[in-house]
Structures are given as C-alpha cells and as structure tokens.
C-alpha cells in the first residue's frame, strides 16, 4: 500500500467508528453499599500501653478498645487533692469563726495590752509632775509621752481584734473562701476526668476497620486511634440521571440484587433523593449523561436491620430501572 492512501484509510475508520450504535444500556442501576464511618479518638495525650481489639472485630458500645498511660495525671491529681482539701478547710473555718483557743489568745493579748497601757499612763503622769518641777528635760518628757500614746494605740488595736473574734464574720470573707473551694474542686474534677480517659472505649456498636496507632506509640489529644463502620447505619447508594429519576419515589420499597452473591437480594426503602452538583461525584459505570443533565443520588436503607450485618462496605448492588 502506498503512503498517500493512509489518511484516506484513517478517515474512513473514524467515520465507521462514529457510526457504530451506542452500547446497549442495562436494565439495572449499579450502586454501592455505604456504611457510616466512626472515628475513635484519644481525649488526652498519652502512650498506648495495650490494644484489646484487632481489625475486623465487632465491638459493642462501651467496650474497652485500648489503654493509655498518662503519668502526669497522677502527679496533678495529688496537687489538685491538696488544693481542694486546703480550700475546703478555709471555707469551713470562715463559716465557724474563731475557735476557743483563738478566743483565749485574743483575751490574753488584750489583758497584756491593757496592763501595758496602764503602766504607761502611770509612768507618764509621774514624768509629767517631774517635768513641771523642772526635774527632767523636755526630751525625756516627749519620749515618755510617745510611749504612752503607743501603748494606748496598741490597746485599741488589740481590743478591735478581740471584738472581731467575738463579732460576726464578714459575708465577703465567706464568699471568697467558698469561691476558692469551688475553684479547687473544679481543678480536681478536671484531673479526675483526665484519668478516666486512660481507657478508650467504643462510642457505639461497630466493626473495627483500621487501627492507626499501636502499643508503645504516643497518641496526641484528638488523634484518631482507630476507625470503624457502624453496622446499624448502612445504606445503598445509586446515581441516576435526570431523565430516569422520575419513577423513583421516596418511601417506596425496592428489591436490590447482590450480583456477586447468587440468589441473594435485599429489600430496601428509598429515603433520600439528592441532587449531585459535581460531575466528579457520578460513580456510574455507564456515563451516558447528556451535556448539562442533572444527576441525583438515591439513598436506600435496608428494611430488615439483620440484613445490614451481611452487607460489606463498598459492595456492589444492582437496582432494577423503572
């Protein structure tokens, strides 16, 4: 064959290919089984000491999945307990007032101050007469007068202290002590809550899919240690074009076939018809949509909850077209 015949042959081949009829459309929509993903995270940072599950295990709500070590929490617990004990004692002391021993100490201090003031008064009177008779200097007189005034001031202060011991406690002081106690109690509860997080439990019944961290590794706060599937929230997802979505009605029950499990089917109820705005979201195996045609997602839920356990995530399912 000569070279100048090649373009003509190529054009003929393209023309014949374009004239081929479209691939026949199947009578079933292809979809996938989807399960809600559950992430299990560590609330406080710590090192994983023990893993109690492995991938593929089915766990129940509240089951312990792993244990982590938080050595700093033990020291903080002792500090918080000491602070709470001290603050509670201060509040109780503010409520009850002075003790009998404190009252006796105040009485003794008042008696001593009164005797000192009496002695200073007598000494000052003697010095005063001696000063009038010019027997002492003015400096000595001023010094004795100052000592007498200091003794009187000491007596007044001790008397006020004694009156405070016997008197009523200020409400502000009680509220201040109560606030300190509440603050210390809150810090204690915070540490106790952190210690309870030494075990990681399953938030709900699920199947463990993957484990991100293993024994000896450090788990940061909020890091997903493992993920799983919630078997109670399984749905079947199909994508249909705008021209085909009309016959599907919410609330109706459909029979969905499992192509790779002969003679097995699932009855499911259509619960959601949602438009897909992005073309990349179309997952059909037969992209025969026209330009500008909208696509919709059909979301079906098995009517029999017991059938959800037998469905695997991303398993292919087929729905008859209407």
Residue 124: give the domain boundaries.
75-193
**Do residues 221 and 245 touch, judged by C-beta distance below 8 A?**
no
Mean pLDDT, rounded, for 156-161: 82
Domain CATH number, residue 59 = 2.40.30.170
pLDDT band for position 285 (cuts 50, 70, 90): very low
Instruction: Report yes or no: 70 and 197 within 8 Å, Cβ to Cβ.
Output: yes
175 assigned to some structural domain:
yes
CB 66 within 8 A of CB 52: yes
Residue 28 has pLDDT above 70, yes or no: yes
pLDDT surpasses 60 at 145: yes
pLDDT in tens, 191-207: 887 777 788 889 888 88
| Mean pLDDT in residue range 232-244 | 88
pLDDT value at residue 283:
47
pLDDT at residue 238 in the model: 92
User: Of 193, 223, 249, which residue sits at a domain end?
Assistant: 193
Do 152 and 182 have their domain in common? Answer: yes
Does 7 map to a domain? no
Q: How do the residues of the chain divide into helix, strand and coil, expressed in percent and rounded to 5?
A: 45, 25, 30
* 81 and 60 fall within a common domain: no
Give me the count of residues in the chain.
322
Residue 173: inside a domain: yes
* Final residue in a domain of this structure, among 168, 193, 218: 193
Overall domain count for the chain = 2
Q: Report yes or no on 18 lying in a domain.
A: no
Cα separation, 56 vs 211, in Å, equals: 10
Statement to judge: residues 81 and 189 lie in one domain: yes
Is residue 2 a part of any domain in this protein?
Answer: no
Residue 237 is predicted with a pLDDT of 92
What is the mean predicted confidence (pLDDT) over 12-37?
A: 63
Q: Are residues 185 and 213 in the same domain?
A: no
74 has a pLDDT exceeding 80: no
In a domain, 198, yes or no: no
The DSSP element (H or E) to which 148 belongs, if any, is helix 138-166
Q: What is the mean pLDDT of residues 73-77?
A: 79
Same domain assignment for residues 56 and 88: no
Q: Is the pLDDT of residue 239 over 70?
A: yes
Give the lowest-confidence range in 76-80, 92-96, 164-168, 214-218.
Answer: 164-168
Closest CA to 302 of 257, 268, 271: 268
Quick one: pLDDT band at residue 171, thresholds 50, 70, 90? confident
3-class state of residue 152 by DSSP: helix
In a domain, 202, yes or no: no
Rounded Cα–Cα distance for residues 206 and 231 (Å): 6
How far is it, in rounded angstroms, from Cα 173 to Cα 91? 9
Residue 319 neighbours by CB distance under 10 Å: 21
- 54 domain-assigned: yes
- Is the same domain home to 232 and 153? no
Examine the domain organization and report whether 234 and 282 are in the same domain: yes
């Amino acid at each position: 064959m000569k070279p100048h015949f090649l373009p003509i042959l190529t054009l003929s081949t393209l023309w014949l290919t374009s004239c081929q009829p479209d691939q026949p459309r199947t009578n079933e929509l292809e979809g996938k089984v989807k399960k809600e993903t559950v992430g299990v995270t560590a609330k406080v940072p710590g090192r994983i000491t023990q893993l109690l599950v492995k991938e593929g295990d089915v766990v129940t709500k509240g089951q312990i999945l792993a244990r982590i070590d938080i050595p700093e929490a033990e020291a903080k617990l002792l500090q918080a307990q000491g602070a709470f004990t001290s603050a509670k004692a201060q509040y109780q002391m503010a409520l009850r007032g002075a003790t009998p021993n404190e009252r006796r100490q105040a009485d003794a201090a008042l008696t001593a101050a009164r005797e000192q003031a009496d002695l200073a008064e007598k000494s000052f009177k003697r010095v005063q007469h001696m000063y009038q008779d010019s027997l002492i200097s003015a400096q000595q007189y001023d010094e004795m007068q100052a000592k007498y005034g200091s003794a009187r001031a000491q007596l007044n202060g001790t008397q006020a202290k004694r009156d405070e011991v016997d008197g009523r406690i200020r409400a502000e002081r009680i509220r201040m002590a109560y606030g300190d106690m509440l603050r210390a109690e809150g810090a204690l509860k915070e540490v106790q809550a952190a210690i309870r997080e030494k075990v990681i439990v399953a938030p709900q019944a699920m199947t463990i899919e993957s484990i991100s961290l293993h024994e000896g590794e450090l788990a940061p706060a909020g890091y997903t240690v493992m993920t799983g599937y919630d078997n109670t929230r399984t749905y079947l997802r199909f994508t249909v074009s705008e021209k085909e979505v009309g016959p599907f009605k919410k609330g109706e029950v459909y029979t969905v076939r499992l192509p790779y499990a002969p003679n097995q089917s699932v009855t499911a109820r259509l619960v959601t018809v949602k438009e897909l705005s992005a073309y990349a979201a179309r997952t059909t195996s037969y992209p025969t949509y026209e330009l500008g045609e909208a696509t919709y997602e059909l979301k079906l839920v098995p009517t029999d909850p017991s059938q959800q356990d037998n469905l695997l995530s991303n398993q292919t399912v087929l729905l008859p077209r209407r």
